[in-house]
Structure 1
Amino acid sequence: MGGGGSMLQAIISLRNNKRNRIDKQKRLENTSNETSEFVDHIQATPELLESIREKMQAERKAEQKKLIRSVTLFIIVLFIVLYIFNHNWKWIEGFFYKVK
């Protein structure tokens, strides 16, 4: 009966992987954000909630501006490369083979 050795290796691998798994409680503990502070929304004042809201909106705006800048830069570089390839094709062809 063929394949017995490889099946044994698969069983041993599964057993070893099971030992190395982290239980769900530890996984949830590791995903917590250490830098944020806990705010009890029931006892929080409206001023505190407003300041948190404004802070989150400012962070979101900064991330959005960064994304827009990077996408714009990528599109500009893409258009420049396409322009060079389109208008100087004979010059570029000379690198790959002799143009007669």
Structure 2
Amino acid sequence: MAGEGSMMHAIKTIQNNKALLKDKRRSSWKNYLGVKDVPTIDHIKASPELLAQIRENCKKEKKKSIKENILYFVLTLFTIAIIFYLIYQYIFNDIHIDVYEQ
């Protein structure tokens, strides 16, 4: 029978690859056991004025994005309406546009 040697080689290769993976595990659950003991430091102190300024900037950006979205929506609807009108005129009213006309 042909192929026994190549299958044996494939099995050995898989076993060797698995053995390599066991050595190179990036992290284990044991690495996270002592994480709660590390104190965290908050380096950024925000004043109420700074928070109010950030809030106002967010509101302005939101209003601007809403206006842009409404504008894009209206332009899209207008474009679609024009396309449908031209298709309707072309099909039902026999208005043909000659591209090759000179």
TM-score class, shorter-chain normalisation, is 0.3 to 0.5
TM-score normalised by L of structure 1:
0.47
TM-score normalised by L of structure 2:
0.46
Structure of higher RCO (CA pairs closer than 8 Å, 6+ residues apart) = 1
Which structure would you say has the larger Rg? 2
